[in-house]
């Protein structure tokens, strides 16, 4: 997984129907078992045969395999889920497989039954896994257009220098430019891009810009899942740039608007 895989990866809703070999499925299962996150929160993944378990999504065509994940309700669980699930999505892309994050447009009850979801567990999202069709369906094309899926907010809207009073320009981001650009490319629920980031010389603080209606009992706070995705992208790009650091949670106590919540900080170790 690298920045090239982040840049190349696209959501796929229309699949060719070509079967995934047992060898590739084995690689997927091994990866999912070894997958981890910076918060130490256990995430359980399951590969699901759509026909056997009778699961489906009205926006997906031609996929017979899905991957679903779940966690026990706990602190940082949504962040951990987003981080790990995106690592898998990027790994699948490296195998030539298509995926798409689904948090709402699928038969939730059928998937919850397939993963034996317990009362104290949450299953935020699932993804089909398969080989992309040569051309997307008309429905997929219309969905991407409606969601403005390929559009991203300007760099200066998402990223700030030292506090929220000063927007950060891309050309002024220095060592953080590539990691921040990869954050911009992260997928998010209905493309809301809820991450806001404050950059210091050796620390990068992540915040969630909340939108009403994205925190539910069945999914948890899906925008925190989005933050986990963004943090995954950031750490991959930081490592590729030769930066060595880790995520911590020490609130910098910046002045915040009511809809902004502190999430975590990436701190350089060297």
Do the Cβ atoms of 223 and 211 come closer than 8 Å?
A: yes
Can you say whether residue 269 is alpha, beta or left, with left for phi > 0 and alpha for psi between -120 and 50 degrees? alpha
Q: What is the pLDDT of residue 134?
A: 83
Class of residue 268 by CB neighbours under 10 A (exposed 0-12, middle 13-18, buried 19+): middle
Q: pLDDT tens digits for the chain (270 residues)? A: 788 889 888 889 999 999 999 999 999 999 999 999 999 999 999 999 999 999 999 999 999 999 999 999 999 999 999 999 999 999 999 999 999 999 888 999 999 999 999 999 999 999 999 999 987 766 666 665 665 556 789 999 999 999 999 999 999 999 999 999 999 999 998 889 999 999 999 999 999 999 888 777 667 789 999 999 999 999 999 999 999 999 999 999 999 998 999 999 999 997
Total Cβ atoms within 10 A of residue 43: 21
8 A C-beta contact, residue 89 and residue 102: no
Interatomic CA distance for residues 228 and 230, integer angstroms: 5
- State pLDDT tens for residues 198-243: 999 999 999 999 988 877 766 778 999 999 999 999 999 999 999 9
Instruction: Measure CA 177 to chain center.
Output: 20
> What was the pLDDT predicted at 220?
78
């Amino acid at each position: 997984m690298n920045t090239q895989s982040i840049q190349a990866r696209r959501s796929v809703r229309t699949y060719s129907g070509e079967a995934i070999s047992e060898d590739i499925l084995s690689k997927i299962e091994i990866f999912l078992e070894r997958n981890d996150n910076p918060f130490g929160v256990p995430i359980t993944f399951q590969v699901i045969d759509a026909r056997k378990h009778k699961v489906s999504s009205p926006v997906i065509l031609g996929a017979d395999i899905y991957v679903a994940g779940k966690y026990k309700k706990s602190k940082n669980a949504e962040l951990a889920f987003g981080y790990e699930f995106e690592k898998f999505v990027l790994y699948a892309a490296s195998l030539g497989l298509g995926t798409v994050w689904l948090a709402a447009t699928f038969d939730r009850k059928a998937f919850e039954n397939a993963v034996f979801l317990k009362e104290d567990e949450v299953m935020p999202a699932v993804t089909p896994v398969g080989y992309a069709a040569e051309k997307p369906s008309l429905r997929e094309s219309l969905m991407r257009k409606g969601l403005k899926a390929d559009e991203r907010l300007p760099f200066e809207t998402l990223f700030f220098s030292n506090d929220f009073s000063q927007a950060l320009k891309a050309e002024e981001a220095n060592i953080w430019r590539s990691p921040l650009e990869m954050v911009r490319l992260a997928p998010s629920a209905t493309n809301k891009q809820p991450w806001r980031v404050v950059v210091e010389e050796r620390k990068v603080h992540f915040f969630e810009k909340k939108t009403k209606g994205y925190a539910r009992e069945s999914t948890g706070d899906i925008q925190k899942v989005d933050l986990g995705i963004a943090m995954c992208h950031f750490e991959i790009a930081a490592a590729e740039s030769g930066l060595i650091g880790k995520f911590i949670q020490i609130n910098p106590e910046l002045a915040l608007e009511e809809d902004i919540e502190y999430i975590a900080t990436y701190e350089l170790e060297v």
